[in-house]
Amino acid sequence: MNLWHARQKSLEWLATELVEQNALVDKGFEMLDKCIALLNQQSKTSNDELNGRFARVVNLNLAKARNLLLGSYSMLLDALAQEAGALLRPILEVYELLIYFRLEPSRVDQVIDGKLPSSGKIAKTIEGGFRGLRNYLSTNASHVSFSYESSKHLFDHQTSEIKANQQQSVGVLKNHLSSLNAFQVLIVAEALRYLEITGYSKESLFEEYEDWRLKSIKASPFPVHES
């Protein structure tokens, strides 16, 4: 039995048909790693000042975001896209937390004091736009569910049997990788705003981000409306 058949096929596509998506996702993780390293430096420089506490708390959030994105990426390669949706819910929460802290840096003290509001209250405070997606994930991905959306990928309509192994297709994987890349773009944008708040001003990193962001938009199969 080959448990990794879908992953092996996905890795083949990443080296051929999906080489562009592969490079964009890899770049997203590279950008995140750079931001985390820079915020580590800032937290040491500022010590117990607000800037230092801010850098440490948001950096914990960024590291969590990186792990969740990487976990989701891994599951997508194994053709477990629906199950990967369970990780998308906390990815949304991490992203909204990043906005929450940026809008008022002193809010990081709520983490230190153990008084951070619930994710729902945070979403309302920042007027987050993911309520519909969050509700969908709660119903169909974040918990065990027998809804059609949650279980349709497990059913073989030709044989009327339950499938133990999930099939991978290059087109579906491409779409999922573009969605993952889109969340990377959002999260790295917040990380760069944090760096600006803490005094980082080297234009080269921001130019690097903008180049990657535009390439990500161009490669996406989804319509994108620039604000």
pLDDT higher than 70, residue 161: no
Q: Is residue 227 a part of any domain in this protein?
A: no
Q: Which two tokens stand for residue 8?
A: 């092996």
Q: Is residue 87 a part of any domain in this protein?
A: yes
Q: Is residue 62 a part of any domain in this protein?
A: yes
CA 116 to CA 109: how far, in whole Å? 8
pTM score over 0.75: yes
Q: Is residue 83 a part of any domain in this protein?
A: yes
Q: Label residue 152 by pLDDT band (50, 70, 90).
A: low
With a CB cutoff of 8 Å and minimum separation 6, the contacts of 70 are 29
List pLDDT tens digits, range 50-75: 888 888 899 999 999 999 999 999 99
Q: Which two tokens stand for residue 48?
A: 């117990």
CA 166 to CA 155: how far, in whole Å? 10
Q: Is residue 130 a part of any domain in this protein?
A: yes
Q: Is residue 74 a part of any domain in this protein?
A: yes
Range of the domain at 45: 18-154+162-219
Q: Is residue 37 a part of any domain in this protein?
A: yes
Q: Which two tokens stand for residue 174?
A: 């491409």
CA 215 to CA 207: how far, in whole Å? 12
CA 10 to CA 106: how far, in whole Å? 44
Q: Is 85 helix (H, G, I), strand (E, B) or coil?
A: helix
Q: Is residue 1 a part of any domain in this protein?
A: no
Per the structure, the count of domains in the chain is 1
pLDDT higher than 60, residue 209: yes
Q: Which two tokens stand for residue 97?
A: 């937390």
Strand partners, 161: 156
Contact 76, 102 (CB under 8 A): no
